[in-house]
Structure 1
Amino acid sequence: MPEWSCACCGRYRVSVELVRGRYRYRLVHRYPRQFGGGKNVLGEVGSVTELEELLRRRTSLTLADLREAA
């Protein structure tokens, strides 16, 4: 499954899944280990345009801030 993370801190990640023939983009915030780890799903959308809107609403990131996760 492809995944992208923010270039600044790596805490925000976007994953892409194929569900019933359609792609779903999921935005997740990951907590550092010192704060107990874990993740919080901030939203899930069905298009890149909706993903851009979700990023703008929930974070200070844009699509240009995302890099492929290692």
Structure 2
Amino acid sequence: MAEWVCGCCGRWRISVELIHGRYVYRLAHTYPRRFGGGRNVLGEVGSVDELAELLRRRTPVDLADLREAA
């Protein structure tokens, strides 16, 4: 599974998963441990164009702000 995080704070994450023969891009917002941790899934889409639109609507970051997670 590939994963990308935002370069600004690391709390916005995109994962790519193969589900029933299709790749799904999942956008999640993670919370720091000091606030209880956890992950809030904001949406799942099937293409990069839809991912860019989801990022534009739901987050302060865009595709250019993402980097591959270590």
Flag whether TM exceeds 0.5 (same fold).
yes
CA RMSD between the two structures: 0.5
CA distance in 1 between counterparts of 2:64 and 2:2 reads 16
| 1:34 is aligned to 2:31 | no
Offset from partner CA, 1:1-55 (integer Å, 9 cap, x none) = 0000000000000000011111100000000011000000000000000000000
Corresponding residue SS for 2:10: coil
- Give percent identity, aligned residues only: 76
Take 2:46 and 2:56, find their aligned partners in 1: how far apart are those partners? 16
C-alpha distance in 1 between matches for 2:65 and 2:40: 19
Aligned partner of 2:5 in structure 1 is: 5
Q: What is the letter of the counterpart of residue 60 of structure 1?
A: P
1:48 aligns with 2:55: no
Deviating 4+ runs (over 4 angstroms): none
The gaps in structure 2 that reach 5 residues or longer are: none
Number of equivalences? 70
Taking structure 2 as the reference length, what is the TM-score of the superposition? 0.98
